[in-house]
Amino acid sequence: MRIVRKGLIGIFVLVMASFLCGAASAAEPIKVGVVLPLTGSMAKFGEIERRSFEMALEEINAKGGVKGRKIELVFEDDTGKPDVGRSAVEKLISRDKVPVVTGGYSSAVVAAAAPVAHQLKVPFVICTGAADDVTEKGYEYVFRINPTASEYPEATKSFLKGVAKVKTAVILYENTQFGQSSSKAFEEDCKELGIQVLMKEGYSAGAIDFKPLLTNVKAKNPDLIYMVSYVLDASLLIRQAKELDINPKLFVGGAAGFTLPEFQMSAGPAAEYVFSATLWTPNLRDKDYPGAKKYFDNFRARYKSDTEYHGAEAYASMYVVADALKRTKSFTPKDVRDALAATNMKTAFGPVKFISYGKKTQQNKLPTYLVQWQDGKLETVWPKDVATKKALYPTPKWSARK
C-alpha cells in the first residue's frame, strides 16, 4: 500500500512539475526580430522607425499581447550596409530563434537580407526597403507592406498632369538600388506625360560638394528638378541649388530624405516650397487608415518631434506581425508565414493585404501622396481630397523670396 501511495505521489509531483514548466513556457515572451540602421548615415531613419516599433509594441502588450504572452523585440543594427544586414538576419534566425523578422529600411540591405530569410524559411516582413525586384523573385517567405519604388511618383505624376504642366525635367538620384528604381520609374512617367528629360545622372551617396553636378543642371535650365536622395544629400542639394541660383518651376523629392524633419532643419530656408512624394500623411481618412492621426499625435507628444511615413510603416508593421501571431496555428516560422499570407487588415499606414500583380508577389499596394514644405511645416497638397494646404506653384525665384 505504501509503495502504491508513494507511486501516486511521485506521479502527482511529475504532473505538477510538467504543468508548472508548461505555464512558465507559455508566459515567456514571443521574440520578434527587427533589423534597422541604428548607427551610420541612415540612423535618423532607423531612430524614427525604432521608436515607432516600440510605441506599437507597448500598445499591443498593454492589451494582453498575443495569446496571453508578451512580444519582445530583438533589434539588430544593420548600419545601412548590405553585408551587415545579411548577417543581422542570420543572427536573429539562427541565434535568437525568432519566428519572424521585420524592419528593413535600406533597399540595398533588404535585397541582401531577403534571400537569407527565404533560404532559412523564416518570414521577413519588410516595412520600408522599396526596390521593385525584392518582391519579384518569388520569395515565399518575404512580404512587404510599403509600395515599391516605381510607385512612389504616382501622386507626383497626377499633380504634373493636372496642375504643373511642365515641359522639361532633370533627374538626379543616389546611385543605389532605391535611387535607380525610383529614377527609372519617374523617367518613364515623364515620357508618358510628354516631359523631355534633359539630363538624368546618378551620384555617390555622401558627396560633400554637388556644385559641379548642379552647374550642369543650371545650364540645362529645366522646368522641374526631381531628386531621389537620402536626408544629408537632399539638404545639401537644395542648399547648393540656392547658392548657384538655380530656379526651376518646382523642386520635387522622390520621398526618402525630403520628408524627414531633419531635412528642413538642415536645409533651413532653402527647404521652403520643396515638394516630395510620400506614402502617408497623418490626416488620411480614419476608415481606411485607423489611428493615423492618433499615432502622429502620440509620437509628437512622446518624442517632441514629428514623425512621417517611415515611422508609420514601422508602426503598422508591428501590428501586422502581431495580427499574424494571433492567427497562427503555432509559432513555427511556417505557420507564421501562412498566417501572414492570409493578412487582410487596416492599419494606421493603410490597408494591408499581400497580393500578386505584375511580377510581384506578397506585395501590399497603396496610393501615394504629394507634400510640400510651407512655413517650415510639411503640408499635404495632393490629391485635393486629403490636402491640408493648397500647393504653392510655381516656386518663386530665390531672389524673390524674403
- Tens of pLDDT along 43-102? 999 999 999 999 999 999 999 999 999 999 999 999 999 999 999 999 999 999 999 999
Q: Is the pLDDT of residue 20 over 80?
A: no
- 206 with 321, same domain: the answer is no
Q: What is the mean pLDDT of residues 334-348?
A: 98
- 135 with 70, same domain: the answer is yes
- 263 with 121, same domain: the answer is no
Whether 347 contacts 280, CB under 8 Å? no
What is the rounded CA–CA span in Å between residue 355 and residue 197? 33
Task: Give me the pLDDT at residue 256, please.
Answer: 86
125 grid coordinates:
516582413
Give me the percent of the chain exceeding a pLDDT of 90: 89
Has residue 5 been placed in a domain?
Answer: no
- 259 with 373, same domain: the answer is yes
- 51 with 137, same domain: the answer is yes
Has residue 19 been placed in a domain?
Answer: no
What letter does residue 271 receive in the DSSP assignment?
G
Beta strands 369-374 and 275-278 are antiparallel
Which CATH number goes with the domain that contains 348? 3.40.50.2300
- Tens of pLDDT along 286-319? 999 999 999 999 999 999 999 999 999 999 999 9
What is the rounded CA–CA span in Å between residue 297 and residue 55? 12
pLDDT bucket at 205, cuts 50 / 70 / 90: confident
**Residue 285, SS3?**
coil
Helix (H) or strand (E) holding 161: helix 154-162
Region of poorest pLDDT, from 63-72, 80-89, 152-161, 199-208 = 199-208
Q: Is the pLDDT of residue 21 over 80?
A: no
Region of poorest pLDDT, from 9-18, 38-47, 183-192 = 9-18
388 grid coordinates:
491640408
- Tens of pLDDT along 36-56? 999 998 999 999 999 999 999
What is the rounded CA–CA span in Å between residue 191 and residue 216? 22
Has residue 3 been placed in a domain?
Answer: no
Task: Give me the pLDDT at residue 26, please.
Answer: 52
Per-residue burial over 123-135, b if 16 or more Cβ lie within 10 Å, else e, is bbbbbbbbbbebb
Q: Is the pLDDT of residue 285 over 50?
A: yes
DSSP 325-376: HHH-SSSSHHHHHHHHHT--EEETTEEE--EEETTEEEE-----EEEEEETT
Has residue 212 been placed in a domain?
Answer: yes
- 351 with 392, same domain: the answer is no
What is the rounded CA–CA span in Å between residue 51 and residue 323? 20
Q: Which residue range is the domain that position 140 belongs to?
A: 29-147+285-363
Has residue 6 been placed in a domain?
Answer: no
Strands (E), 214-289: 224-228, 250-253, 275-278
What is the rounded CA–CA span in Å between residue 77 and residue 37? 5
- 274 with 384, same domain: the answer is yes
Q: What is the mean pLDDT of residues 233-246?
A: 97
- 39 with 134, same domain: the answer is yes
- 171 with 307, same domain: the answer is no
Has residue 46 been placed in a domain?
Answer: yes
- 245 with 201, same domain: the answer is yes
Question: How many domains would you assign to the chain?
Answer: 2
Task: Give me the pLDDT at residue 288, please.
Answer: 94
Has residue 20 been placed in a domain?
Answer: no
Has residue 290 been placed in a domain?
Answer: yes
- 81 with 52, same domain: the answer is yes
What letter does residue 76 receive in the DSSP assignment?
E
- 339 with 381, same domain: the answer is no
